[in-house]
């Protein structure tokens, strides 16, 4: 009789453990569902933020270009063109001076 009572007690404890596992599984399922919803919302927000960041980058480029034009800051190509124009007369002047020197005082 004692063995039967012990077996019944073990059976009750096993059933209670199974019930607890079922409750925990339901909780985990609910948490998983909430996490899936949160992930979906975060992905939507990520897409929105990426779009906004791209719009801000475009605006920054426009503002930079407008400020450059307003202040008269030359572009990289304009700076190199100015340097080339500045060097060319110096090279030509040096060449003309050396030719005149050779014509005036031949060796």
Query: H/E element holding 1?
Result: none
What is the reported pLDDT for 30?
Answer: 94
Structure tokens at 68: 């450059």
pLDDT for the residue 29? 95
Q: What is 27-77 written as a DSSP string?
A: HHHHHHHHHHHHHHHHHHHHHHHHHHHHHHHHHHHHHHHHHHHHHTPPPHH
pLDDT along the chain (107 residues), means of 10: 88 92 94 94 92 89 79 85 90 91 81
User: Using one digit for the tens of pLDDT, what is the confidence trace for 70-98?
Assistant: 878 888 888 899 888 989 999 999 999 99
Q: What is the pLDDT of residue 71?
A: 79
- How far does Cα 81 stand from its chain's mean position? 35
- Cβ atoms within 10 A of the Cβ of 45, count? 10
pTM for the full predicted model: 0.44
Q: For position 53, what pLDDT does the model report?
A: 92
């Amino acid at each position: 009789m004692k063995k039967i009572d012990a077996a019944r007690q073990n059976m009750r404890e096993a059933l209670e453990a199974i019930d607890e596992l079922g409750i925990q599984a339901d909780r985990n399922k609910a948490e998983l569902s909430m996490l899936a919803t949160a992930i979906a919302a975060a992905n939507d927000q990520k897409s929105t933020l990426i779009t906004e960041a791209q719009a801000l980058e475009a605006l920054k480029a426009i503002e930079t270009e407008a400020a450059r034009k307003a202040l008269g800051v030359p572009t990289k190509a304009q700076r190199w063109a100015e340097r080339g124009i500045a060097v060319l007369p110096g090279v030509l002047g040096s060449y003309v001076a050396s030719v005149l020197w050779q014509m005036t005082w031949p060796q």
